[in-house]
Amino acid sequence: MERRWPMSKMTYVGMDVHQKWIVVVWKRRGEKEGVCTTENTREGWKKLVDVFGTEKVWAAYEASSCGWGLHDWLTERGWKVSVLAPTHLPKSVRGRKTKTDERDARKILEVLMAHGELGTTLPAVWVPPTKIREDRELVRRRLRLGERMAETKNGITSLLVMHGLERPEELKTAWTRKHVAWLKGLSGGRELPATTKSVLASLVRELEFLIEEEARGDEEVERLAKEAADGVIGHASWVMNPAQSVIRLEAERMRGPNLTRS
């Protein structure tokens, strides 16, 4: 059950989180504001808990590439933590010109306090469970492999076009084993200059690696799809259609089903 504390006794904490440090601005209603900076490490997080304790603390920071570690660690120690969608936070032209870490942390603090004390909207994103985060990474990895595969194939095609070479008529389908074998033959034959053969050989090696990795990735995504179909995990739709799923899931991460929840 979610904790409910009197808002007047709540310590609100706005945090501007970076890879190596966190700028913190905090305030309680009727009291002066405080500012500090700490390391973005477990030791730095512990300092925050030592300062504010574990009761009646409500913190917030923007969703970013820093991930969910800070949220999870502070939540486990009794804090209430909201992760906010950057695109839904108020911005002004003047604010963009005078942007500093402390200003950003204060902006987050103001949005959080306005919500806690006045009931305004809090643009909080949905924080997915660990299992879903892990599954997302697997699906994203598979999609990144596909992007790299396309880049590699385009590189090979461009190289062949540059030297006026076309796939033999008997190789009706591109990128099959026979086609890759023909490309290998080119990289060791006499049709191309030495430097071009070296580049082609490198691209073909990369292509073969990506083909193997894509096959492994497909097996893993199929495993997730089977788990979803069997009811082991709850996000069947995004596992079954990974190409569309990551786009939708990223939108969910920023928007979340509890966008206006406290």
Q: Are residues 96 and 152 in the same domain?
A: no
3-state secondary structure of 25: strand
Mean pLDDT of 111-120: 92
Q: Are residues 169 and 199 in the same domain?
A: yes
What digits encode the pLDDT tens for the residues 208-226? 999 999 999 888 888 877 7
* 147 inside domain: yes
Q: What are the residue ranges of helices labelled H in the chain? A: 42-52, 69-76, 93-97, 101-113, 130-162, 177-188, 194-229, 236-240, 242-255
Judgement on whether residues 248 and 135 belong to the same structural domain of the protein: yes
Write down the pLDDT at residue 63.
Answer: 92
For residue 46, the domain's CATH number is 3.30.420.40
Q: Are residues 173 and 213 in the same domain?
A: yes
- Write out the residue range of the structural domain in which residue 162 sits: 130-253
Q: How many domains does the chain have?
A: 2
Residue that finishes a domain, picked among 118, 145, 165: 118
Of the residues 93, 118, 143, the one at which a domain ends: 118
User: What's the mean per-residue pLDDT of the chain?
Assistant: 83
pLDDT value for 99 = 67
What does the alpha-carbon distance between residue 91 and residue 123 come to, in Å, rounded to a whole number?
14
Cβ neighbours of residue 1 closer than 8 Å, sequence gap 6 or more = none
Q: How far apart are alpha carbons 232 and 226 in whole angstroms?
A: 8
Q: If pLDDT is split at 50, 70 and 90, which confidence band does 185 have?
A: very high
pTM (whole model) above 0.85: no
Model pLDDT for residues 70-92, shown as the tens digit of each residue: 999 999 999 999 999 998 887 75
Percentage above 70 pLDDT, the chain: 81
Residue 87 shares a structural domain with residue 135: no
Judge if 111 and 150 occupy the same domain.
no
Q: Last residue of some domain: 84, 118, 152?
A: 118
Report d(CA 11, CA 51) in Å as an integer: 11
Structure confidence by residue, pLDDT tens digits, 7-29: 558 999 999 999 999 999 999 88
259, part of any domain: no
In this prediction, residue 74 carries a pLDDT of 96
* Residue 29 shares a structural domain with residue 103: yes
Does some domain include residue 124? no
What average pLDDT does this structure show over 113-126?
A: 92
Per-residue pLDDT reduced to its tens digit, 146-164 = 999 999 999 999 999 999 9
Specify if 45 maps to a domain.
yes
